[in-house]
Structure 1
Amino acid sequence: MTRTYDALETRSPAEREAALMAALPAQVAHAQRSAPAFARILAGVDASHVVDRAALAKLPVTRKTELQALQQAAREQGGNVFGGFSALGFGAAMPRVFASPGPIYEPEGTTKDYWRMARAMYAAGFRSGELIHNSFSYHFVPAGSMMETGAHALGCTVFPGGTGQTEQQVLAMRELQPAGYIGTPSFLKIILEKALEMGVSIPSVTKAMFGGEAFPPSLRDWFMERGVDGYQCYATADLGLIAYETTAREGLVLDEGVIVEIVRPGTGDPVADGEVGEVVVTTMGSGYPLVRFGTGDLSAVLAGPCPTGRTNTRIKGWMGRADQTTKVRGMFVHAKQVDEIAKRFAEVLRARLVVSGEMASDAMALHIEVQGSPEGLASRVGDAIRDVTKLRGDVVLVAPGSLPNDGKVIEDARSYR
């Protein structure tokens, strides 16, 4: 039995990068040609020149909030329900359409394993010929279908358990004896506790793939004590699979079908490996060709390859949200404004705005990493703070490497009591 889903997972990093970059110009051109929204967003971009990460980093980031707003505006004007982001139209090429909170509407195409979930399931131990109990939702959101199509691609049979009806879930597991479970960890915990209450044994469930919630080590150990070996995946309704956990349990390995960048929140600027930033993804599929899609999630690149032999980049997993907009003295302050201030001064290496005090009595200070104490810099930065935010703020000079590596550009340290 092979340890990996396919040979793509063990190719050299150089080979993988070359293949992705070779495919990137055609994907950008496809988005411009087939998705009207990207025809506007990428107007003037010569796709044939987008041949490496440096060129990709020059393209604008489209964040989830912007996609939602563009979809909403298009619908209000009687236009395309997807806001021009889908390359698919209603009919045979789009068997299903889903709605995530917002609402944001997502198309589902007909390609095998459209959401690319089979790879994560294989890493979690699922194999062809097994029955999977799928307890992700089958209505409105695409989670249930994402997992089912991945399971079918893997060669598995699926019981569409969905959510709720805990006693019926227990009875179905007892009688069908699935090899494992796919869903949120909290719901499987509820099912196992209900089975104990009912005096029902479901020993066939020995593995699980989780998503949609945090999966801390304490909960992982809880399942292991009950004979269930669980792994997590990182996927979204817009992008499908982004990364997945392996038996090494050392971060999440990136999927083979996406290009992932980690950028400074509020910007499109890639950060150094190991620095926490926002996860930005470019998909390589044809149906919903998202180019530099900002997930709003924070993560960081882990150094080195996965001990399982998979050679793709690893990330630490979900580390919080990147949207750090806050209100100070009645004015909204955004992460991109902090970045704009920092970029005005070559001496500034990193910046972090700290908002303190109590509500209605706010104070803010911009902490900047600089070498030494450049004469007059604090005063000039203070002027820039007023110019960009229309608010006064103190300036604190700190040594390089002093600011926390947590992805925060704005830290709200106020007391809300």
Structure 2
Amino acid sequence: MHTLPTTDRFRLLRASQQFAYDRAPAIRAIYQLAMMTPQDLQGPADLARLAVTSKDSLLDKQRQSPPFGGFLAADDTSIRRIYVSPGPVYEPHSFDEDTGKGFSHVFRQAGIGPGDRVLNTWSYHLVPAGLLLDAGIAATGATLIPCGPGGAEQQAQLIMELGITCICSSTSFFVTLVETLERMGYDLPSQWKVRSAMLGGELGDWMGKRRALEQKYAIRTFSAYATGDFGLIAYEELGQLGYTVQPDRLVQICDPHTGAPLPPGEPGQIVVTTLDSGWPLVRFGTGDVAQALAHSPDGLVERISLLQGRVGQGVKVREIFIYPRNVEELIIRIPAIERAQIIVGKNQHRETATLRAVLTPGASHEATQSDLIEVFRQLTRLRLDSVEWVIQEDMPTDAPLLVDNKL
């Protein structure tokens, strides 16, 4: 992937947004609401003055002004593909599918190139995932086997008979494939050629699951953060936490309600602005929640954490959002806890956070509680108001991780 000096990004953003401002009514309306023009974009504080556009808002505008809601700045004749996300939301792509999206960099960084045979199980139907990965794989010089999802037995056969060296799939479908191969009698990893897998993210202890798969099947796993609206947004780099933002994506982590950028370490919505002038989404809320881990010199987010959930899953407690993933991480980090949930309530005018937890057999309340309080503070920057120990029967396995009783 080419590198883009961060000092140039706002100059490029002003140019691409001015192009869109002159041609796309919905983009112009966003600036008029903020009493700005694209030429006012000198830094991240100026960008933050623009309202965040949600997926629901984009859908509403597309229904009011079909098919693209006034966001398209490119000529209709330049549109190469129209993808369809649930809603339906129509996403026109009028640029080179890999140069504009950067997936070839993700695969090259993982060592994929000539001589590799890559099985792509992501969907080629309506959504962009299959084709975007397809273009990125092809750009490396590797040989591609385009399968899409489903048909585990047939795909397992292809893995063995074609000598697949890399598998692209969701984490759950990868597990299905290896379990299918084992049921078919193959001794893995000795009987296959797979060396790596690009896996889709999951909540919970996803990294722990990946490490276990790597060890058991003698592979390296890698991943990226992408959406249908933008394609590649960020990618993993060896030795770095979370995802590094690709330079063509201007990312801010924002309060889900106000849209204001949040400081590093505080979870919020991933808000993305593109430098593309044809489909020029500006301050678009992805609906995904993460933390900023580092900022680039121009003040935008350079690296984000793994995803923590979706907007709407979080509950605000004393000005800080907590998410179901925080409870999952707490359980992972404290083996003495078998199950847990956070109850958010209100005591007069003060918001409270109570942890209800089930201990594993033989564990001690006293020895666990101080660790639990400290780990929760590290994960959320909040101090628990109380801890309530319950028995298994009082907390079924499907009990919600986070309950909002403030109302």
The separation in 2 between residues aligned to 1:364 and 1:106, in whole angstroms, is 47
Say if 2:103 is the partner of 1:124. Answer: no
The separation in 2 between residues aligned to 1:167 and 1:402, in whole angstroms, is 44
How does the TM-score come out when normalised to structure 2? 0.73
Give the CA deviation at 1:188: 1.1
Aligned in 2, Cα 1:209/1:351: closer, same or farther, shift over 3 Å?
A: closer
Q: Share of identical aligned residues, percent?
A: 33
Say if 2:10 is the partner of 1:18. Answer: no
Say if 2:308 is the partner of 1:323. Answer: no
CA contact (8 A) 2:14 2:41 kept: yes
Choose which of 101, 104, 111 in structure 1 pairs with 2:89: 104
SS in 2 for 1:62: coil
SS in 1 for 2:5: helix
Aligned in 2, Cα 1:26/1:226: closer, same or farther, shift over 3 Å?
A: same
CA contact (8 A) 1:355 1:365 kept: no
Q: Quick one: which amino acid aligns to residue 223 of structure 1?
A: L
Q: Quick one: which amino acid aligns to residue 155 of structure 2?
A: Q
Q: Root-mean-square deviation (CA), in Å?
A: 3.2
Say if 2:224 is the partner of 1:238. Answer: no
Please give the per-residue CA displacement for 1:145-200, whole angstroms capped at 9, x wherever unaligned: 12112222333332111111111101111122222011211111111110111124
Q: Quick one: which amino acid aligns to residue 303 of structure 2?
A: R
Aligned in 2, Cα 1:94/1:141: closer, same or farther, shift over 3 Å?
A: same
Choose which of 125, 142, 164 in structure 1 pairs with 2:150: 164
Aligned in 2, Cα 1:356/1:301: closer, same or farther, shift over 3 Å?
A: closer
The separation in 2 between residues aligned to 1:237 and 1:112, in whole angstroms, is 12
Paired positions, count: 332
Say if 2:299 is the partner of 1:313. Answer: no
SS in 1 for 2:45: helix
Matches within 5 A, 1:171-182: 171-182=157-168
Say if 2:175 is the partner of 1:189. Answer: yes
SS in 2 for 1:42: helix
What's the counterpart of residue 414 of structure 1?
Answer: 405
CA contact (8 A) 1:352 1:403 kept: no
CA contact (8 A) 1:124 1:208 kept: no
Please give the per-residue CA displacement for 1:319-378, whole angstroms capped at 9, x wherever unaligned: 11223599xxxxxxxx8xx9xxxxxxxxxx946799857xxxx9885549xxxxxxxxxx
SS in 1 for 2:224: strand
CA contact (8 A) 1:356 1:363 kept: no
Q: Quick one: which amino acid aligns to residue 275 of structure 2?
A: M
Choose which of 210, 213, 216 in structure 2 pairs with 1:223: 213
Give the CA deviation at 1:280: 0.6
SS in 2 for 1:250: coil
Give the CA deviation at 1:292: 0.5
Q: Which runs of 4+ in 1 moved over 6 A?
A: 351-355
Choose which of 219, 235, 241 in structure 2 pairs with 1:250: 241
SS in 2 for 1:23: helix
Aligned in 2, Cα 1:96/1:213: closer, same or farther, shift over 3 Å?
A: farther
Choose which of 138, 144, 148 in structure 1 pairs with 2:124: 138
CA contact (8 A) 2:97 2:132 kept: no
SS in 2 for 1:219: helix
